[in-house]
Amino acid sequence: MDSKEALSISREVAKRVKKAVNSIEISKRNLNVGMGKDGTPTKLVDRVAEEAAFEVLKRERVTIVSEEAGVVGEGDVVVALDPLDGTFNATRGIPIYSVSLCFSDSFKLKDTFFGYVYNLATSTEYYADVSAYKNGNSIRVSDNDSLYCNAIVYYPKGLHPFKRIRVFGSAALEVCFVADGSFDCFIDVRGHLRVYDISAGVYIAERAGAVVSDDRGMSIKDKKIDMEERFKIVVANKNLHKKLIDTVVKR
């Protein structure tokens, strides 16, 4: 599989997931229908989204690592799938929720060759192969190297130097907001993030010029694509990233 095929597959997944999600009244999306493989409750909208994604992915020679179903399939290409990132938003009609797919030639992030994130509410599309794109247009991270910047932080403690702080509830999209320069950095060092939450967004951000690391400034590329791996990440342009690690994250 190459990046062109991955883009085609991703777009078909996004199309089907969007149709499935939109078929459910907002008032019914929050119904509990079981427990996911990640150990959290599965909402009706989560299950419907995953089933729609699987209709496409199970036709391909891929191994899927998904939030609700766990590891499915035995293909050579590994796909980290979050069929609905931002479930709370989707159940409240808040237009920030997405489907996220990361394609890798192995169970390691370093072998990723394509990332795709699609806002299911607004139809905004992000993807990356060797470059990063938003709705087909090339994107780049901001060049702001000042700590007095626009930040997405989970969750700020104490005083911070940032100009403004926001939290939107969809990590995949939030990292893409850094990739396209809408925000200057993304910080989540709680250790709660899983691979399907951030792998596609991280790949897109890196291709847009971002540096991505853990809370110690170390690369996350050797992290595994599996259900057990947890992530602490800092995403920003090269110069701002170093300042964040040295003066904000490590303090």
Compute φ and ψ for 245, nearest 5 degrees: -65, -45
- Please tell me the predicted confidence (pLDDT) of residue 133: 98
42-59: per-residue pLDDT in tens?
A: 899 999 999 999 999 999
Mean pLDDT of the chain: 95
Residue type, 32: N
Q: Is the pLDDT of residue 4 over 70?
A: yes
User: Distance from CA of residue 31 to its chain's centroid?
Assistant: 24
Tokens at residue 219, please? 């690369």
Q: If DSSP codes are grouped into helix, strand and coil, which group holds residue 186?
A: strand
- Please tell me the predicted confidence (pLDDT) of residue 205: 98
Average pLDDT for 92-116: 97
Average pLDDT for 141-147: 97
Angle between helices 3-22 and 44-57 (to 10 degrees): 150
Distance in angstroms (rounded) separating the CA atoms of residues 159 and 138: 35
Average pLDDT for 102-130: 98
Distance in angstroms (rounded) separating the CA atoms of residues 99 and 18: 9
Quickly state the pLDDT bin for 37 (edges 50, 70, 90).
confident
21-31: per-residue pLDDT in tens?
A: 999 999 999 99
Q: What percent of the chain has pLDDT over 90?
A: 90
Radius of gyration of the chain (CA): 17
145-174: per-residue pLDDT in tens?
A: 999 999 999 987 778 899 999 999 999 999
Lowest mean pLDDT among 36-40, 134-138, 202-206: 36-40
Find, among 37, 59, 36, 45, the residue nearest to 17 by Cα.
45
215-251: per-residue pLDDT in tens?
A: 999 999 999 999 999 999 999 999 999 999 998 886 6
Average pLDDT for 134-152: 97
Number of other residues whose CB lies within 10 A of the CB of residue 49: 31
- Please tell me the predicted confidence (pLDDT) of residue 35: 83
How long a stretch of residues is the chain? Answer: 251
